[in-house]
Structure 1
């Protein structure tokens, strides 16, 4: 390889490292990304003054970073991280209460907090957009799932956005391309008995209180999970999944009281055709049947569903998908590997809901061996994704005309 080409690669990698440092220095909690958006906009404005970098506020403290450079696709990533200041040093969440520490660059890798979700792909997206000088960049706020939130950042952007021919979601995922993504919902199981005193276990219903029988409830939920997964076969690239993420009961400041309610929170990944009412009905019926022969038989049992979004798909022959396949083969030297049973969902579903053909592709990361709150990303691999994003934005591998939808594509889109 010529020295000039090697130097160009070094310069681009230096830019990625600097971008990762800017993202690392300013926290971006979900819905409170405004300071991080402003810091990144200021840095990008100084580095690439020919581009206008705009902080788009929404809500009380949320914000997107937006930049336009003429016609072309939308390149999307997000500012917020899966954990934030509310959970990163909470031992109940992460098992640790020490500071997570700053970004470290060692032996061609970057290690730090939030690189997987989603600072590494976001840095590659910014560098790619600046290099291509074409299309639109959106680093959205509220890009991670949270109770009471449904992609406020991207929805605020789409409310005033010009018509977009297509979108590329820059977010970590499989080592391949996704043009289909599952839906998602939060479920809450509420088991209700009566309160009592710890010194008199029989004063509560059931005896010992509902918390005493939490294992019975969790076992019943696991039985439903097995049935749910067995009845929801993978569709196209996506599959179903269920995880129990939270268990709550009682008052930590006064554990001599036996609580009357037990709350269990679940995250449910859905395949196309799922309905909120079906989730609630099936889980409620399963719990009533399984708890009837347990000490919880006389307790109330309810299921509430917070529907985040349904599964969405872009046709496999859409121009942006074909362009991404061509660009992948050009950058990586081989076709992308097939993806099936994928259970991760992003704001790509929101873009598809708005009729925008979307493909998702992004770098992989692994957890740090010294601190699982930190991710490790290979910088050379990240640079290859930057190259892929640049090619797609620049139109080197991007068909300009939409392919007509086939019946097959239409059915998958819904």
Structure 2
């Protein structure tokens, strides 16, 4: 398991920006590089339907298989070999475009390319833009996938492996949704993983490669976007005391924020469970009002955008109603009382789980133990939601695990650092899971042949 392979894959991944909905160039670059290096594998770029939010979106799909009865490499129809999907994603949480990123990061200028360096203990590090979400894990998954395919082919063992580096893996709130009509909860349009599952038969099991806490995640929470809107009347700043509300909506923003923070405290307290695998969380991620080009006008609309991590049993419509009731009650008796409150929501996906004793979970835990020499620690209260819930929602047993990061670059928080030894370790773990997954099928599930 070569560190050079991982660095090479990262170099190709980081050669250009890969914002949400514009993954095509990176998918084509990776496919060309991979085809020239590993021609025995099938490299395919699957374009997604173009939309305004996703004009050049694509998945990269790599397949490996061998049907011993046929005596040659194939990419489908590999006898009874159960398909394993190893999945990560191409797009990055930040885009690499300063116009979008700077209001979030507070940093401008270019991010620079991939760098290798030495850590405080002399260990080899690699750092770059988008490694945390999710280029480091994607490169590691690719290298582990190739290693498993090589080992299984050399052993003449039947196998079906698919690597999916998916489009639109990070959460994004489409501002054209929900519609302007109030009290709506709508679903996000299908992303790259959902499109793949729509196009091809579901795999027997899946491994989600993303940076994670130590351990094997068999459960993940869901995700809900909420938009809280207060409506007043626009008014010139020069006559602000005659505005509705007096002084303008932004003057009273603190009342709304405190109402939402009080809701958060109640919401989390009602879901507190120290034994649960997943946990809840709520945060205000954006506030929007007015136009920077016309600051002489007080805006007549104030929007606050929330990200809410859901746990099993959460009802998005009920949560939306609770938020609306909380803000309405908090603004009663204040200058905001004359400003109607509406709350709209977009459910990205609900929470979902895989049984801890499912075969893929056992394979992942066994591979972890083989790599680290001890059992994987339990993961409790995890609040990160990914495509694992999409796979589980389609009936695919799924585990998530990935390399730990070493934090952000102190000189540029947009750049993430990883130890090459950790990336090599997880490439080996992914390969080990794939090898353990292959074999015959019996009534108890999958076992090693």
TM > 0.5 fold call: yes
Residue of structure 2 in register with 1:130 after alignment: 146
1:92-143 residue CA offsets vs partner (Å, 9 max, x unmatched)? 1110111111110112111100111000110011111111115111000000
1:122-181 residue CA offsets vs partner (Å, 9 max, x unmatched)? 001111111111511100000000013455111111112234110000001111110000
Residue of structure 2 in register with 1:408 after alignment: none
> Among 12, 18, 40, which residue is 1:28 paired with?
18
> Among 91, 95, 106, which residue is 1:80 paired with?
91
CA distance in 2: counterparts of 1:220 and 1:397, whole angstroms: 53
Judging changes above 3 Å, is the alpha-carbon distance between structure 1 residues 227 and 78 closer, same or farther for their aligned structure 2 residues? Answer: same
CA distance in 2: counterparts of 1:205 and 1:304, whole angstroms: 23
SS at match of 2:336: coil
Counterparts of residues 367-382 of structure 1 (less than 5 Å): 367-382=408-423
Q: How many Å apart are 1:400 and its aligned residue?
A: 5.0
TM-score normalised according to structure 1 size? 0.92
SS at match of 2:244: coil
Deviates more, 1:212-221 or 1:392-401: 392-401
> Among 213, 216, 219, which residue is 2:252 paired with?
213
Residue of structure 1 in register with 2:242 after alignment: 203
1:250-305 residue CA offsets vs partner (Å, 9 max, x unmatched)? 11101010111110000000000111111111111111111113221111111111
Asked whether 1:144 is paired with 2:170, we answer: yes
Residue of structure 1 in register with 2:429 after alignment: 388
Asked whether 1:97 is paired with 2:108, we answer: yes
> Among 335, 342, 355, which residue is 1:315 paired with?
355
CA distance in 2: counterparts of 1:287 and 1:163, whole angstroms: 43
CA distance in 1: counterparts of 2:333 and 2:295, whole angstroms: 28
1:176-203 residue CA offsets vs partner (Å, 9 max, x unmatched)? 1100000001000001111111011122
CA distance in 1: counterparts of 2:209 and 2:337, whole angstroms: 48
TM-score normalised according to structure 2 size? 0.85
Asked whether 1:64 is paired with 2:59, we answer: yes
Judging changes above 3 Å, is the alpha-carbon distance between structure 1 residues 94 and 19 closer, same or farther for their aligned structure 2 residues? Answer: same
> Among 208, 225, 245, which residue is 2:285 paired with?
245
Counterparts of residues 224-235 of structure 1 (less than 5 Å): 224-234=263-273
Counterparts of residues 282-321 of structure 1 (less than 5 Å): 282-321=322-361
> Among 205, 211, 220, which residue is 1:181 paired with?
220
Deviates more, 1:157-166 or 1:55-64: 157-166
Judging changes above 3 Å, is the alpha-carbon distance between structure 1 residues 93 and 219 closer, same or farther for their aligned structure 2 residues? Answer: same
Q: How many Å apart are 1:28 and its aligned residue?
A: 1.1
Structure 1 residue runs without a partner (length 5+): 1-8, 405-414
Counterparts of residues 106-125 of structure 1 (less than 5 Å): 106-107=117-118, 108-125=124-141
Residue of structure 2 in register with 1:335 after alignment: 375
Judging changes above 3 Å, is the alpha-carbon distance between structure 1 residues 396 and 64 closer, same or farther for their aligned structure 2 residues? Answer: closer
> Among 255, 263, 272, which residue is 2:303 paired with?
263
Structure 2 residue runs without a partner (length 5+): 51-55, 66-80, 119-123, 150-158, 175-187
CA distance in 2: counterparts of 1:278 and 1:227, whole angstroms: 14
1:357-377 residue CA offsets vs partner (Å, 9 max, x unmatched)? 000000111111111111000
Q: How many Å apart are 1:403 and its aligned residue?
A: 4.6
Residue of structure 2 in register with 1:6 after alignment: none
Counterparts of residues 5-20 of structure 1 (less than 5 Å): 9=1, 12-20=2-10
1:41-76 residue CA offsets vs partner (Å, 9 max, x unmatched)? 001111111111000100221100101112431100
Q: How many Å apart are 1:398 and its aligned residue?
A: 8.0
RMSD of aligned Cα (Å): 1.6
SS at match of 1:269: strand
Q: How many Å apart are 1:233 and its aligned residue?
A: 2.7
